[in-house]
Structure 1
């Protein structure tokens, strides 16, 4: 006891946890949540087991913190995959185009209203004016295959 205020370690752990939870509301991110909850859990453990020492409190805190982080990682992994927005393959793969230049090493395909450098898929030989389907993107080049090869087998 100091100046009439009790300095119970359990209450200090709980107070520290509440301060961390309040900081979580103000700061971006979510990591302080798990530290604050682990601190509150440690304080509750010390209230339930007053004979526990500092080493016990640290072990309980670390175990609760590890469990919280593991839970957060598991919850994060269970979310649906984020859509790929604003990437070349998000808007190109699956679209059809027309080979506009096939002379020399330069192969270009027109997809919609844009021309793209192109790479033939599987070493296919492409001619100017040939219809193709974009099957991937490598760097800034569209990987294309002839439209006839892209059609499912059995199609007439």
Structure 2
């Protein structure tokens, strides 16, 4: 069997494996193998040339993927307002010496108040303003006018 066809078949097998496995590790290797197979069929560069073509194509693919990947978008920012906690309402469940705890959804969270804000009573509705590590920064909701 022609070495170029072997490279192409290996590249196709790597692309098929990429569909089954998470990540993009095999994508660039498969594409580089297919490109190497095509180069072997068209130019017959020999073993050293085939290895060089494969390495150049692999490096170019990885470089391209690093250049076009998203950086620092909302999906990469934990505890950002986009994460869905800021802006939600919670209820104060305790104000003991251990600190403030609020119920948000079906979970209790440790919380703190911004400076200068008076400690609310249990049962008070609060709004999550931010997230500080594992603490929610909350502010009591102002009573609404009737």
**Structure 2 CA distance for aligned equivalents of residues 76 and 128 of structure 1:** 45
Alignment check: 8 A CA contact 2:74 2:83 kept: no
| Corresponding residue SS for 1:126 | coil
The 1-side partners of 2:4 and 2:106 are apart by: 67
Unaligned runs of 5+ in 1: 1-6, 149-156
Q: Which runs of 5+ in 2 are unaligned?
A: none
What is the rounded CA distance, in whole Å, between the counterparts of 2:10 and 2:108 in structure 1?
Answer: 59
Aligned to 1:153: none
- The equivalent residue for 1:19 is 13
Query: 1: CA distance between counterparts of 2:106 and 2:33?
Result: 58
2:2 to 4, 8, 14: 8
> RMSD of the alignment, in Å?
3.5
Correspondence 1:37-116 to 2 at 5 A: 37-50=31-44, 52-74=45-67, 76-77=69-70, 81-82=74-75, 90-97=83-90, 99=92, 101-102=94-95, 104-109=97-102, 111=104, 116=109
Name the TM-score, length of structure 2 as normaliser. Answer: 0.64
Aligned length: 134
